[in-house]
Amino acid sequence: MAAKQAVNHETILVVDDEPGMRRACARMLAAAGFDVVAAESGQEALELCEQHPEGVHLALIDVVMPGMTGHELAERLRDRWRKTKIVFMSGYVASEIGELGVLQRDAHFLGKPFSSDVLRQKVRDVLDGTASAGP
């Protein structure tokens, strides 16, 4: 089943300290019709969000990053922009991330690597409120 395209120019924030992954995610989401902003750190992500006063619709955040973890960034985004939806991504298995205490059990999660179709579908489902939490 093909993923539905973006509607109403939804803005997606991609945050990953690995440049190749950040570019690949941004490219896949832009190809699906989303407006994409990308950051290499939590601090840069917060600064980019300030340029979008209405907030971003969804943040796709790497769980393990230097400086500010994905969980810390998600909390700061939620404090400022309550409606921003969050999807975490990691090369670690979701259960390992949960054991480290950096991912809540009810979080939306994508395990790396993932295909373009899987990414677009997960983002669409979370935006539409039809995604179940977890991997």
Position 1 in a domain:
no
Position 114 in a domain:
yes
Its pTM stands at 0.86
Q: Say yes or no to pLDDT of 126 above 80.
A: yes
Position 42 in a domain:
yes
Position 80 in a domain:
yes
pLDDT one-digit tens code per residue, 18-60:
999 999 999 999 999 999 999 999 999 999 998 887 789 999 9
- Contact indicator for 74, 104 with CB cutoff of 8 Å: no
Mean pLDDT score, 80-103: 73
Position 25 in a domain:
yes
Give the domain CATH number at 92: 3.40.50.2300
Look at 14-18, 61-65, 79-83, 106-110 and tell me which has the smallest mean pLDDT: 106-110
Domain around 55: 11-128
- Contact indicator for 18, 135 with CB cutoff of 8 Å: no
| Number of domains comprising the chain | 1
Cα atoms found within 13 Å of the Cα of residue 6, Cβ hemisphere only: 18
Helices (H) and strands (E) in the chain, counts: 5, 5
- Contact indicator for 115, 45 with CB cutoff of 8 Å: no
pLDDT one-digit tens code per residue, 75-91:
999 898 889 999 999 88
Position 3 in a domain:
no
Position 134 in a domain:
no
60: β partners = 14, 87
Position 6 in a domain:
no
Cα atoms found within 13 Å of the Cα of residue 95, Cβ hemisphere only: 0
